[in-house]
Amino acid sequence: MAKEEYTIRPARAEDAQAVTAMWAEMGAEHQQYDPQRWAFAADAGEKQREHFLRTLADQQNGLALTATDSAGQVVGYLMAGVTEPAPVFRTKRRGQIWDLFVRPAHRGKGVGRRLMEAAVDGLKARGAEDLLLRVSADNEAAIEFYRKLGLRLVAHEMYTKL
Amino acid sequence: MTSQSYTIRPACPEDAEAVTAMWAEMAAQHAGYDVQRWQWAPGADEKWRKHFLEMTGKDDWVALVAVDAEDRAVGFVTAHLRSVAPVFAAERAADIGNLAVTGEHRGRGIGKMLAKAMLEELKARGAEYVTVGVACANDVASRLYENFGFREVMRSMYLRL
């Protein structure tokens, strides 16, 4: 069997359905880590779709990428953006990765790494000076993946329900 | 020497100087943990002082101070109330921004008093959950929050580009 060829490209509005379906898969993975923290709204899929479309529209600060296979099927996506930290920080424009997902059958083939490399280029082009992301504490594979890309752990993000 | 008694009260503009000094202490501690992640802007102390004065009294911001018998602030905690992204079931949440106790008053339960009072205040204001980011190297803070039922759900990772 021939090796699959993947393409990384900017996301388009017509990717919304595929991206939303992957977001739901990612949400389900997170619910296994911590069902209370990752309790989603009944219309979460629709809200995520709107968020995706808003990110596409925000050309100055938003960044959405998809990975497609040779048949043109979307098998992974990344959503990111540039934010402005509080004025006490020296960094004025900060890149943040909101979502990164690759369908299980396509993992281990460099798709996530290529999405991240493209995201770093895109964030730099939007003026980002640094990169900060949050990853589930139980998602060891993701933590190791980001570590290999040069990111380091800086903080524990703690939570309590009131 | 008798043991000091401390009181928790809402912060007021007159606390700005004491609170900013404690913020600066905390900022320096964090630069020691990771100098890139916590790289401060020139004049950061003054910027923080202005921020404190602007935010004090706003509906979506809570700042409490721990004061000694002379009403001098020796610790403080701040939090921000916010709406939650619409994909989530929860609607209102709060993020604790800073919690600090000045050096010579540490180890006397002031941090616990501040955290307890803040969680009660946030609950009263309608927050359904609370988050706080704690530097990986700050074990004292992690333990404090764990004692109030916090658990680590995420980790943040960083890279200078």
Q: Which of A90, A120, A162 sits opposite B40 (nearest CB)?
A: A90
Q: CB distance B158–A131 less than 8 Å? A: yes
Can you give the pTM of this predicted structure? 0.94
Residues of B in contact with A137 (CB under 8 A): 152-155
ipTM for the predicted complex comes to 0.95
Q: Is the pLDDT of residue B4 over 80?
A: no
Size of interface A-B (CB pairs under 8 A): 167
Of B37, B89, B128, the CB nearest to A154: B37
In this prediction, residues B17-31 reach a mean pLDDT of: 96
CATH topology of domain B3-147: Aminopeptidase (3.40.630)
Please list the ranges in chain A whose pLDDT falls under 50: none
* Contact residues on chain B for A151, CB-CB shorter than 8 A: 157-159
CB contact under 8 A, A47 and B86: yes
Contact B27 A44 (CB under 8 A): no
Return the residue matching tokens 């690759």.
Answer: A102
Predicted pLDDT at A4: 85
pLDDT at B2: 45
Q: What is the pLDDT of residue B1?
A: 42
Instruction: Mark yes or no for CB contact A89/B157 under 8 Å.
Output: no
Where do the domains of chain B lie?
3-147
The pLDDT mean for chain B works out to 95
pLDDT of B119: 98
Gap between the Cα atoms of A120 and A65, Å rounded: 11
* pLDDT tens for each residue of B118-161: 999 999 999 999 999 999 999 999 999 999 999 999 999 999 99
| Interchain pair A158, B41: CB under 8 A | no
pLDDT at B83: 97
Nearest residue to B59 via CA among B39, B45, B79, B38 = B79
